[in-house]
Amino acid sequence: MGKLDGQVALISGGARGQGEAEARLFAREGAAVVLGDVLEEEGRRVAESIIDTGGQATFAKLDVSDQSNWAELVDLTVEQYGRLDILINNAGIARVKMIEDSSLQEYLEVIRINQVGVWLGMRAAVKPMKEAGGGCIINTSSTAGLEGYAGLSAYVSSKFAVRGMTKSAAVEFGPYNIRVNSVHPGPIDTPMIRDPELSQRADDDFSFAGPIPRIGTADEVAKMMLFIASDASYSTGAEFVIDGGLTIGGNIGQLIE
């Protein structure tokens, strides 16, 4: 018996990184998973790998900033599997640039994907979840949704917005038995953080101030997502932080030394 037997999960940004780890874990726990991503080759490979190991999976191209794409993918999910129980808004991008050096276009590119994409995903998922009698939406924010980082103003703005939208959605959707929570990872070993710009920032800013002195893994985030989707049945509008203690504050041990 899996924790998600009989449930259907839609995961944006499911082609790699945290989304891939979530899709694989959810499938092992009995869910049928639908992966949406702009990375078509990688996404199809993940879905095929899940099927080859006995799971249920479907991939479809998804531009999270396109509302028609969202409508099509939700319709496909319901047509193929009969329902939608879990939505993980995972897709996101980051750009490293100081405010004075950034263009409005560069700022809005991040906002469209990280912020508008989450809003569109929630809006598209509500109707089928209401029809299913409830559901669980998990929005991937960041420690950048809890505190500011230089050079990441667009990313920080978008992740604070995800945190706020999550709380509003939790209030609106609660009467329909739909829980909405946000997850706030710190530095996680994924293709995003291995980008040269961000990996330099991780080395400089994050190495490593947390009580757990290492970067986290995508599998660890996936396990947090599974806990929220399966066991955290009385949690909504909450912030689940998975950062090795990075946002706790100063290390008293360092001060004593």
Angle at 174 between CA 136 and CA 80, to 5 degrees: 35
Active site residue 176: no
What are residue 97's DSSP bridge partners? 152
CB atoms within 10 A of CB 187: 25
Instruction: Output the CA–CA distances (angstroms, integers) from residue 101 to 93, 148, 228, 245, in the order listed.
Output: 18, 17, 39, 31
Identity of the amino acid at 157: S
Angle at 19 between CA 228 and CA 233, to 5 degrees: 10
Catalytic residue, from 81, 107, 149, 155: name it: 155
What are the residue numbers of the active site? 155
